[in-house]
Amino acid sequence: MTAASSHIDPTALVHPSAIIGRGVAIWNWTKVREGARIGDSCSIGQGVYIDYGVTLGSGCKIQNGVNVYHGVTVGNNVFIGPNATFTNDLYPRAGEGDWTVVPTQVEDGASIGANATIVCGITLGRHCMVAAGAVVIHNVPPHGLVMGQPAKLVDYVNIQGRRLYHDMSGPPPSEAALTTRLPVGHGIMAINPKKKLRMAVVGAGEMGRNHLRVLDLLKGVEIIAVVDRDGDRAREAAHRYGCLPLTDLDGLPGRVDAAIVATPTATHGAIGVWLLDHGIHCLVEKPLAATEDECRALIQAAERSRAVLLPGNIERFNPVVRQLAEILAHGHRIYAVDVHRMSAVSPETTHVAVVEDLMLHDLDIVLSLIPDALTSLSAQAVQRDPEGDPDHATALLAFGDRSIATLTASRITQNKVRQMNLNTDLGFITLDFNAQELLIYQQGHGALDRARRTGLGGLALDLSIERLLIEKMEPLMVELQHFINVVHGKSPPLVTGEHALKVIRLLARIQAACRRGATLAETGS
């Protein structure tokens, strides 16, 4: 039975016993089988298959190529993206006679991304969000955001489907956070992606000038101002990039949408909070702040204003690091990590502790790769000046009984080294940050057996070396383009304020351990 106000394309096949509500649109080459029930105001796209007995609530939008099989019940106002598929048999076999339908429930307001697969026997909670391409095998809680293969709970979304960037180590978000509607024109929705993003750089030192150089190369960006307390330095940079020189922040609100904070670390907290409280999206250079309290203040300011806060942990945007993360993202185990980040003496960094200046990058990467909780930490350091900070430091971290990591940072090395080695169940992986090269060493199956049979003792044969093809790009350019995308709502932040706080908290522990165990280096006779 079909309501008179509905539209059914002539090419669609709708069984006469199917119940079609008012205002339903069913487009070409779609098939609706016997006994199916489709609620009012649904839109069913092209090439959709609705199996017999399936129930769709009112207000659903089913995109092209979706398959909804017998046993699936869909609530009201559910969105199902292109080519998503539901299964209904946990043990499918051709020709077997013991097939039993396993039901699946999709609750009101849920959204399912394109090409997702929903394995039968689960419930997708109200207003949850399933990312594109996910394979969902477990129940999804109300407002939960799941992604991956298999899908994992990574965050929560509000009633509008906007990601909350919730701290997943604590309890779920409050009902108020889940149900509060954020007005269009506030936070990241305030920026029209068709217009150029108006940006300022705060700090015209070496790093600030690097940001200006790269921003000048990016499309969709307009550099509005350079801010620096040194008026001459601000004017010099502004003249080069054709923008406004400022000596304070007061001239930014209303003029800019986003800002880069590239000032000394001690000023990050105050400057970032001021900008965020004025609704200006911020990328803050590493480290995010000088103290844990300042980190929390930045996170809270971003939450108040709904503006973007992106910690500028630049090495995470190195293409070789992103490739490594992708390789290890599918459940591979890391047994041990060994990282060396060593440089020669530089007068521009001697005022910054070597752990904060160099080791921060690798600690950030290690914590992003190893999900287990840290169980022990020790560190040793060498310093040339008894009154100064360590110049060479090594930290040993243990994560449960599964993984260890050794991190070495130095600014008294005669050669510049930026390398990471990983022992994993996939093989031995070596990574060169500067060359953006990644090698995977794997021992062939049966190599040890053959070595023993040929009398070669423990010498293993058939070692393969795989060099991954990586498109080399400047990490700063990748980072800034990512920031722009986050501001426009096109992607979630790769690094969150909560993660940066975790890194800074651990850095403080490493620095304290270094001070307790520091050794004075020999300076010669």
The 10s digit of each residue's pLDDT in 450-473 is 455 545 455 555 678 888 888 899
pLDDT at 228 over 80: yes
Please give the share of the chain, as a percent, with pLDDT higher than 70.
89
What is the percent of the chain where pLDDT is above 90? 69
The pLDDT score that the predictor gives to residue 348 is 53
Task: Say whether pLDDT at 137 is over 80.
Answer: yes
Which of 99 and 184 is assigned the larger pLDDT?
Answer: 99
57, 76 contact by CB (below 8 A) = yes
Q: Is the pLDDT of residue 429 over 90?
A: yes
**What is the structure's pLDDT at 97?**
66
Strand partners, 410: 342, 392
Burial 334-347 (b: 16+ CB within 10 A, else e): beebebbbbbeeee
pLDDT-derived band at 520, boundaries 50, 70, 90: very low
Partner residues linked to 467 by β-bridges: 439
Q: pLDDT value at position 41?
A: 94
pLDDT exceeds 90 at position 80 = yes
Q: What does DSSP say about strands 144-147 and 152-156: parallel, antiparallel, or unpaired?
A: antiparallel
What pTM, to 2 d.p., does this model score?
A: 0.61
pLDDT for 103 beyond 60:
yes
pLDDT of the residue at 195: 79
pLDDT in tens, 479-511: 999 999 999 988 899 999 999 999 999 999 998
Report the chain's mean pLDDT, rounded to a whole number: 88
What distance in Å separates the CA atoms of residue 403 and residue 139, rounded to the nearest whole number? 30
Confidence bin at 246 (pLDDT 50/70/90): very high
pLDDT band at 94 (very low <50, low <70, confident <90, very high): confident
Region for residue 70 given its phi and psi (left: phi exceeds 0; alpha: psi -120 to 50; beta: otherwise): beta
Rounded-to-integer distance, Cα 435 and Cα 33, Å: 58
Using pLDDT thresholds of 50, 70 and 90, give the confidence band for residue 391.
confident
| Average pLDDT, integer, range 189-209 | 82
* Cα 401 from Cα 335, distance rounded (Å): 9
The alpha carbon torsion through 378, 384, 386, 388 (nearest 10 deg) reads -80
Q: pLDDT band at 351, cuts 50/70/90?
A: low
pLDDT of residue 444: 64
